[in-house]
Amino acid sequence: MTPESVAQTIEYTQLKPFATEADIEKLCWGAMHWKFYGVCLYSIWLPLARSIVSSSSLKLITVAGFPTGASSTQLKCLEVAEAIEKGADEIDFVINIGWLKDRRLKPIEDEFKYLVELASPCPLKVIIETCYLSEEEKKLACQLAAATGISFVKTSTGFGPAGATVSDVELMKQIVPQVKASGGIKDASTAISLIKAGATRLGTSAGPSIMENLPCCID
C-alpha cells in the first residue's frame, strides 16, 4: 500500500446542505492536488465542478434519493437522469430501508434494475445505511445489488447515527467485489483499517488530513 494507492480510493466529499460555491471550488482543487479518485457532491454543483476539473482525470460522483432513500423509484429515476445530463461519472443512491426491513424484495429489485438500465454505462453505488440494518439485512441488500448489476455497495450516507466499520466492510466484501466505506472516516488509521478490510473506495470529507498523516500508518 502506498500514499498514491490510498489517494486513488478516496472520493473527497462535500454533501453539507449549506455548502457554498467556495466550498465546492476548495473541494475540487484539493482533490486535484492530492490526486484523489474523485469528488462526491450534490448534482446542483456538477457544472461548476466540471468546469474546474475538466483538464484532470478526477471523477465526479453525485447522489440520488439522498440521504433517506425514502423517495419513490420515479423520483430517484429523475434524479439519476438529471445527474447524467449534468455530467456525473458515478451516482450513489440510497436503498429504500423500510422496504428492506419489510422484506419487500421485489420492489427493491425492480428499482435497482430500473436505475441500472437508466444510468448505463454510468456506474451506480447503492448506499445501504448499515447502522440501521441487521446482519441478515446487510447480506440481503448486498445480494440484491449483486444480482441486479449494481457496481458498488456503500456502507453509509454519513447522516446516520454511525458510519463505516471494519466488520461491515468484511461482511459486505464476502458478497460483492466492490465496497465503498463512508461515514466517520476522519483519520489515516481508520482509512487504512477499512482498506485492509476490503474497501475499494472511501467516501470522506477529511481526505487532505488523511493524506497528511499517512506516513505513520502505512505498513
- Which segments within the chain are labelled E, that is strand? 10-14, 38-41, 59-64, 90-94, 124-127, 152-154, 179-182, 201-204
Q: Closest Cα to residue 64, out of 99, 91, 97?
A: 91
CB 193 within 8 A of CB 218: no
173 flagged as catalytic:
no
Among candidate residues 76, 92, 125, 168, the one labeled active-site is: 92
101 flagged as catalytic:
no
Among candidate residues 125, 138, 154, 168, the one labeled active-site is: 154
180 flagged as catalytic:
yes
Question: What element of type H or E holds 140?
Answer: helix 135-148
Q: Which amino acid is at 148?
A: T
Those residues whose C-beta lies under 8 Å from the C-beta of residue 55, and which sit 6 or more positions away, are none
What span, in angstroms and rounded, lies between the C-alpha atoms of 211 and 214? 5
What does the H/E/C string look like for 61-116?
EEEECCCCCCCCHHHHHHHHHHHHHCCCCEEEEECCHHHHHCCCHHHHHHHHHHHH
Q: Cell numbers at residue 30, please?
A: 484539493
Q: What is the DSSP letter of 53?
A: H
Those residues whose C-beta lies under 8 Å from the C-beta of residue 27, and which sit 6 or more positions away, are 12, 14, 39, 41, 49
Active site positions, annotated: 92, 154, 180
